[in-house]
């Protein structure tokens, strides 16, 4: 023992003789609150003890130390199974032992101060409160800004969440896409049952499904946006109200209001009141005053056709790169109206 050590007859409780230390404290367990000296002094042992003011105390006596984790002033700690939430306040640990994630959230390990409760797919919120997403606008309003596929569950839909593509960028974002044509990789000349259920991949060419579109358009008031491109031009149209009936009503286009647009101009107002038609169930001749004319077959597609009005001024589900009336067309375009290369139809609450 050195001469300096021999001069220290007794250290305070829990302290030992040493000459250099980097002490943690109850308030700052991982901080360095000590000095290195050439002579021996009484120090708090580095393992299992912390400084609390002038005293050296066992870790478990610190008010802001829980489950071997030190918590700084104002920090929050949530344990591994999200059953306890503790906060360090003025050196005292205050814990909520009834803390729980939402029933619609999963407990995941995150950084200190982060709530480790993550809302399940199809829900949005802070993990403590998670709300079922009815459409892409719900996600957008909750701060989601990335384009891509999300899960939604419209009101009165009983078959579980389903994927939709959300356009979070165009004209303010929050659009639920229900139709897309981009490269002709998917055959759209399909039957009633196919359009009822939907087909294709949500992030590629697809039709969402008429049952789903019907329920979406009846849970809120929605506007319709149509984006389309020819070889070298982009066009759009918006209708302020859009709603369709159920299958018993042949998915009739029951509500649509003239809106705004670019050169394309909103032409779907001409489809108001028209039932849905496919090649195996053409309802265009069910409209009063029409002749026996199979619009779906003549247009090689499926849509809200009305034989009284040249079937439709817009044929988004026609044959990709098809010839004139059997292809994708928008008759109100001043030029290139039969060479549409891209179409996307989407909804957002009005």
pLDDT tens for 118-139 read 999 999 999 999 999 999 999 9
**Which of 26-40, 257-271, 319-333 holds the top average pLDDT?**
319-333
Q: List alpha helices for 111-240, DSSP H.
A: 136-141, 192-197, 210-219
User: Which pair of tokens denotes residue 169?
Assistant: 């960028």
Percent of all residues in the chain with a pLDDT value above 90, rounded to a whole number: 58
Residue 1 pLDDT exceeds 50? no
pLDDT of residue 337: 65
pLDDT of residue 59: 77
3-state secondary structure of 92: strand
pLDDT of residue 3: 44
From CA 253, how far away is CA 242, in angstroms rounded? Answer: 8
More confident position, 113 or 296: 296
- Report if pTM > 0.75: yes
Handedness of CA 214, 147, 332, 338 (dihedral sign): negative
329-330/206-207 β-pairing: unpaired
CA 337 to mean position of chain CA atoms: 35
Select from 274, 276, 320, 319 the least CA-distant residue to 298.
319
Rounded average pLDDT over 279-289: 78
pLDDT tens readout for residues 16-51: 888 776 777 776 777 776 666 777 888 888 788 888
Class of domain 133-349: alpha beta
The confidence band for 106, taking pLDDT boundaries of 50, 70 and 90, is very high
Does 2.10.25 match the CATH number of domain 1-62? yes
pLDDT of residue 34: 67
Q: For residue 268, with 0-12 CB atoms within 10 Å meaning exposed, 13-18 middle and 19 or more buried, which class applies?
A: buried
Query: Taking the domains of the chain in order of start, what are their residue ranges?
Result: 1-62, 63-100, 133-349
- Mean pLDDT value across the chain: 88
Residue 308 pLDDT exceeds 90? no
The confidence band for 310, taking pLDDT boundaries of 50, 70 and 90, is confident
pLDDT of residue 4: 45
């Amino acid at each position: 023992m050195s001469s300096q050590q021999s001069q220290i007859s007794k250290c305070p409780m829990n302290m030992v003789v040493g000459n250099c230390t980097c002490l943690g404290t109850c308030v700052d367990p991982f901080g360095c609150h000590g000095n290195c000296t050439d002579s021996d002094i009484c120090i708090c042992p580095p393992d299992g003890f912390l400084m609390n003011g002038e005293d050296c105390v066992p870790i478990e006596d610190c008010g802001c130390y829980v489950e071997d984790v030190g918590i700084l002033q104002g920090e929050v700690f949530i344990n591994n199974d999200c059953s306890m939430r503790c906060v360090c306040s003025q050196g005292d640990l205050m814990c909520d032992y009834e803390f729980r994630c939402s029933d619609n959230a999963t407990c995941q390990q995150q950084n200190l101060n982060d709530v480790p409760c993550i809302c399940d797919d199809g829900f949005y919120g802070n993990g403590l409160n998670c709300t079922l997403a009815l459409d892409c606008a719900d996600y957008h309003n909750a701060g989601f800004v990335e384009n891509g596929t999300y899960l939604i569950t419209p009101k009165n839909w009983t078959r579980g969440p389903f994927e939709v593509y959300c356009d979070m960028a165009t004209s303010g974002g929050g659009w639920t896409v229900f139709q897309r044509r981009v490269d002709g990789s998917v055959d759209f000349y399909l039957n009633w049952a196919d359009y009822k259920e939907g087909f294709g991949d949500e992030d590629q060419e697809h039709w969402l499904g008429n049952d789903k579109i019907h329920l979406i358009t009846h849970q809120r008031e929605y506007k319709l946006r149509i984006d389309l491109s020819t070889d070298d031009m982009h066009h759009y149209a918006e209708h302020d109200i859009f709603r369709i009936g159920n299958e018993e009503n042949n998915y009739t286009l029951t509500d649509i209001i003239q809106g705004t647009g670019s050169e394309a101009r909103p032409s779907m107002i001409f489809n108001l009141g028209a039932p849905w038609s496919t090649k195996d169930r053409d309802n265009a001749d069910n409209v009063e005053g029409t002749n026996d004319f199979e619009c779906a077959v003549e247009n090689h597609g499926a849509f809200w056709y009305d034989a009284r009005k040249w079937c439709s001024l817009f044929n988004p589900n026609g044959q990709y790169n098809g010839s004139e009336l059997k292809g994708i067309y928008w008759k109100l375009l001043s030029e290139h109206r039969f060479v549409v290369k891209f179409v996307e139809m989407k909804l957002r609450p009005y």
